[in-house]
Chains A and B, each alone.
Chain A
Amino acid sequence: MLLISVVVDCVSKSYSYGLFSKRYDKILSDISLEITKGKTVGLIGPSGVGKTTLAKIIMGLEKPTSGKILIEGTDIWHISSEDRNISLKKIKMVFQDSQGSLNPKKTIKQSLYETANLMGLDVFKGESLILELLDRVGLSSDIFCRYPHQISGGQNQRVALARILLVKPEYVILDEPTSALDIAVQAQILELLNNLQKENNFGYLLISHNIPLIEFMSDKVVVLDKGSIIFQGDTKEFTKFNSLKNKNNFIGYK
């Protein structure tokens, strides 16, 4: 299992403040979970419990205070930074703020070509791959010359997905991918995400505070509260857990 999954092992994170008198703020404590290829793990919890911080730690954008992140068996903070970058290439992230996940001063074309360039594709190969991927996420090349604010939120999210497909990840972190979209578009994006998972055998970590969405998409659910895991199990167990919790009004939302 270790070689086809991303394992978060007892990760804690605290921030320190001040130059001389250090104060610490504990954000996450002893988080353990596993993202397996082809499966979706739902991560749910109220705002401000550290869901996005956990995502950033898994992405390697922040270093955990203690604990390990194992990407297919490799501990990313105990290898050289070149090796870490190679390992981290397997994980990519879709952000909540669909409009904001593309540079507002660049056209869609520039954003996509730049990424193709980064992947070492020449102009010709890059172009055919970009067109293919745009088609795959349901966009035409009409939007090429537009800026992110000139296309809709759903289209932006599709462009972001096409850009991620371009770099061929194996695991994708979805940070509230649909919360900024209206219901009809949400359904389309979720369907697209499901299809992409089937085609590419992606391992998803779906972050949300929308319980029906998590129940619909996930194979396993992790509930986070005040920086620690209060529930981890498959979706059926989660439904039971959730109905119990609702009686005690624990999570504090519907």
Chain B
Amino acid sequence: MTHHIEELKKYAISKLNLNAIGITIFLLFLFIAIAAGIISPYNPWIRFEPYIPPNSSHFLGTNDMGNDILSELLFGARVSLIVGFGASIIATVLGVIIGIVSGYYRGMMDEILMAITDIYLMIPRIPLIIILAALMRPNFWLIMLLIGFLWWPTTARVVRSSTMQIRDASFILSVKSLGFSDKHIILSEILPNINHVIIPKFMLTIASAMFSEASISFLGLGDPTMKSWGMMLNFAFMKGGLINEMWWWYLPPGLCIVAVVFSLMLIGFSLEEKENIVLGLE
């Protein structure tokens, strides 16, 4: 028995380290995004000689316009993270409200809200954004809002099922019978008991939103005046960076996207695992 617990503890510690790795990578990128203005060697819009391979004055070389790629990359972190966070905050807030309301009140409200959720789940999201972005003028804020308003249904589903799991728990019934209001029950009793579901979901939504922004920009439907990682990839492909084997042009933004998404996945999954272990040990 003790051996078993020891093993579980070891498992928990290894997961904790994964969490720490994820947080470290993520904080690094957060720092880059915040301090881009200070740490980047050049203004990303300044033109130098185009197509320079990496050298001592341009660590990652320059692109077809002669912009310094390292500076572009550092400033791109800002755009990508803002889109990811902004969209994820919108999606999570919407998802949590809809999920809790339909899970807590049930009945007709639940039927209607879940029907809407099902409709949203059926929408092919990337093609829809492509169409909307093509119709309207592609704009960085618009893309963030679109992703935010299209990415909530899975959060709503998860939150609804967790709410339904605990809405009939005796501690909820007992505060209900003591005469507490629905508002108090939702905010103070239900929410703290399902945030272990919401936080990982929030992290994974950031990753998903960043990835979608990169896909949309890569397809050339992003904001052309903003330097995001997806936009950089798009230009690298369009302007012949890949064909001419200019690895310093197309590889860094791709690696950055992978690193941030990976770190968020690590944080999200290890938070989930930690909760499971805590529950299992009790």
Contact = CB atoms under 8 A, between A and B. Distances in A.
Interface of A: 19, 56, 59, 61, 85, 88-89, 91-93, 95-97, 100-106, 114-115, 118, 149, 160, 163-164, 167
B174 A167 contact: no
B173 A93 contact: yes
Contacts of A100: 169-171
B192 A101 contact: no
A102 B193 CA distance: 12
A59 B178 contact: no
A85 B182 CA distance: 13
B176 interface: yes
B180 interface: yes
A164 B179 CA distance: 11
Contacts of A164: 178
A190 B192 CA distance: 33
A194 to B, nearest CB: 22
B177 A59 contact: yes
Contact of B174 (A89, A118, A160): A160
B111 interface: yes
B178 A118 contact: yes
B171 A102 contact: yes
Interface in B169-220: 169-171, 173-180, 188-189, 192-193
B214 to A, nearest CB: 37
B179 A95 contact: no
B193 A118 contact: no
Given A95-B170, A101-B170, A103-B171, A88 B179 contact: yes
A100 B167 CA distance: 12
Contacts of A102: 171, 174
A118 B173 contact: no
Contacts of B6: none
A126 to B, nearest CB: 14
A105 B193 CA distance: 7
Given A61-B176, A118-B180, A167-B178, A97 B189 contact: no
Most buried by B among A89, A91, A104, A167: A104
A199 to B, nearest CB: 20
Contacts of A101: 170-171, 174
B282 interface: yes
Given A103-B189, A104-B193, A105-B193, A92 B171 contact: no
Nearest to B282: A149
Contacts of A160: 174
Most buried by A among B174, B180, B282: B174
Given A59-B177, A61-B177, A103 B111 contact: no
Contacts of B176: 61
Contacts of B282: 149
B174 A93 contact: yes
B111 A118 contact: no
Given A103-B175, A103-B189, A105-B192, 13 more contacts: A92-B178, A93-B174, A100-B171, A102-B171, A103-B192, A104-B171, A106-B192, A114-B188, A115-B178, A118-B179, A160-B174, A163-B174, A167-B179
A192 B192 CA distance: 33
A95 B173 contact: yes
Contacts of B189: 103
Contacts of A97: 170
Contacts of A103: 171, 175, 189, 192-193
Nearest to A56: B173
Contacts of B171: 100-104
Nearest to A160: B174
28 contacts: A19-B111, A61-B173, A61-B176, A61-B177, A85-B179, A92-B177, A95-B174, A96-B170, A100-B170, A101-B170, A101-B171, A102-B171, A102-B174, A103-B171, A103-B175, A103-B189, A103-B192, A103-B193, A104-B193, A105-B193, A114-B188, A115-B178, A118-B179, A149-B282, A160-B174, A163-B178, A167-B178, A167-B179
